[in-house]
Amino acid sequence: MNITITTPLYYVNDKPHLGSTYTTIACDAYSRFQRLQGNTVEFVTGVDEHGQKIQRTAQSHQITPQVHCDKISLNYKELWKKWDITYTSFIRTTSPSHQELVNQFFDKVVKSGDILLGNQQGWYCVGCEEYKDDPPDSKSPCCPIHLKPLEWRDEENLFFALSKYQSKIESLVAQPSFIQPLSRRNEILNFVSKGLRDFSISRKNVEWGIPVPGYKGHTFYVWFDALLGYLSSLLPMQNKINLADLSHYGWPASVHVIGKDILRFHAIYWPAMLMSAGLELPKKVFGHGFLTREGQKMGKSLGNILDPELLLEQYGKDPIRWYLLSDIRFGQDGDFQQKRFQDLVNNDLANTIGNLLNRTSTMSRKWFDNGTPDFDINLEDSNLKLLAQESITSSLLAYEEFDFKTVCETVIKLATESNVYLNNTQPWTLIKEPSNKELVGYYLYNVLESCRIIGLLLLPIIPDTGSSILNQLGYTEQIDNWSDHIKWGVLSKGSILPKPTPISKKIEE
């Protein structure tokens, strides 16, 4: 099966922040899971490089917009490399192939009769690059997201006939599977029920953008331009752009993963644009929540922004990935708390999983010739085996739903119960009687096999730690498709176990 997943195309007004890193890590975990399922994955990310905000930011630094975009875009690519993000396409909306696709798409929409010339009046947020429908009743209203004054605009624009697609969009957003999680769906249903209005797709007096063919002085509105990056990212750049080829290169998207603040653009405007151009619609839009820090919104003025590059240097990839995906229900808002981060990483990875693997491997090496136990007894299936099988089933279902928190909870439960199993069976006591060696081998093998299942289930979320667990079990098989691996009883009896080392370092105060 072919899977196409996209992050948003991140706006290059500034360097990457923890919010964009969070989204990308989640998409990476989902992509790794789908590859392990044997699916072909197109993982699209990239940057949105046009618009007035970029133009003004570049001017404030006394450089050209292109130089600014080149610098910030490189920051994103370098950061994703450091985080080992497994994307397959990185699109820049300043690329010539993207501009060609935008022009082709616009031509199709024009031929559908969906482009109108008119005037746009209203309060505009440069940060959001959008008009605000109902700003506060004030002479100088502010954007509720950026907390900066809105600007009054009155200008000639081109409009897309969104109102024409009212009934089709109503039917689309009413489908439970289209907008996830379901809590986001109600927001969109409410917005659509009030009646869709045509929206502006061009700006005048904004030089930094793609010129609109046939309309002098107009450049494409950044959102009309940026959404099309999902298409241009898939088409081979060395060939002449042809929208008819999209189905051969991974379109439609299986899921767009975005922040909840841009849900309207992806769940309403984007599908209508695709309908107008006669193209297939994405199958799902997943809107996740915002991150705060210690209960406060992150911002430069507060001095509390978490730099993903510094976090990476200080703690490494997997501890941050574990915290973000295990402590926060993906789709809901989350709060980054330093103390909780340290406690979770130390308790879950270093103690619960790490100590389990270390002590079981040490006992097995000591009593079974530096290897996994080789025993020849048949007993009824252990409770640990049954729990491991249940853990596999529930984790696979949770991965499909972007429910990373449930996967993490399931893994920790399996590790916790494996520790309980050891304490209940007490192999260190049984081994004192030579006749019990076969039984001790059976008990230790069950725990080691649970550790192998844990390592496999962790591969999408914390890939380095998952691989470390498997390596310490002497399980070095190439795992491209885990169907033959993620089942009970695969660990070889009598195989050599490497000397145990910590799979996760404790984070000190």
Cα separation, 315 vs 331, in Å, equals: 25
Would you call 346 helix, strand, or coil by DSSP? helix
The HSE-up count of residue 300 (CA atoms within 13 Å, CB side) is: 5
Would you call 242 helix, strand, or coil by DSSP? coil
37 alpha-carbon distance from chain centroid: 17
Rg (CA), the chain: 26
| Locus of tokens 């979320």 | 461
Q: Is 408 annotated as a binding residue?
A: no
Q: Are 473 and 491 in contact (CB under 8 A)?
A: yes
Going by their DSSP bridges, the two strands 291-293 and 296-297 should be labelled as antiparallel
CA angle (444 as vertex; 440, 447 as ends), nearest 5: 150
Q: Is 27 annotated as a binding residue?
A: no
Q: Are 462 and 412 in contact (CB under 8 A)?
A: no
Cα separation, 337 vs 295, in Å, equals: 8
DSSP 8-class letter at 5? E
Q: Is 69 annotated as a binding residue?
A: no
Residues 6+ apart with CB under 8 A from 480: 35, 36
Which residues lie across from 41 on neighbouring strands?
3
Enter the tokens of residue 414: 């399996």
Residues 6+ apart with CB under 8 A from 147: none
Q: Are 198 and 116 in contact (CB under 8 A)?
A: yes
Q: Is 128 annotated as a binding residue?
A: yes
Cα separation, 264 vs 285, in Å, equals: 10
Cα separation, 61 vs 104, in Å, equals: 34
Residue closest to 470 by CA, chosen among 490, 494, 442, 443: 490
Residue closest to 206 by CA, chosen among 58, 14, 9, 12: 58
| Locus of tokens 């962790």 | 458
Enter the tokens of residue 206: 């904004």
Cα separation, 186 vs 197, in Å, equals: 19
Cα separation, 91 vs 96, in Å, equals: 11
CA distances from 289 to 327, 335, 409 (A): 13, 10, 20
Cα separation, 491 vs 433, in Å, equals: 26
Q: How many CB atoms lie within 10 A of CB 224?
A: 27
Going by their DSSP bridges, the two strands 115-125 and 285-288 should be labelled as unpaired
Q: Which residues are annotated as part of the binding site? A: 125, 128, 143, 146
Q: Which residues are annotated as part of the binding site for Zn(2+)? A: 125, 128, 143, 146
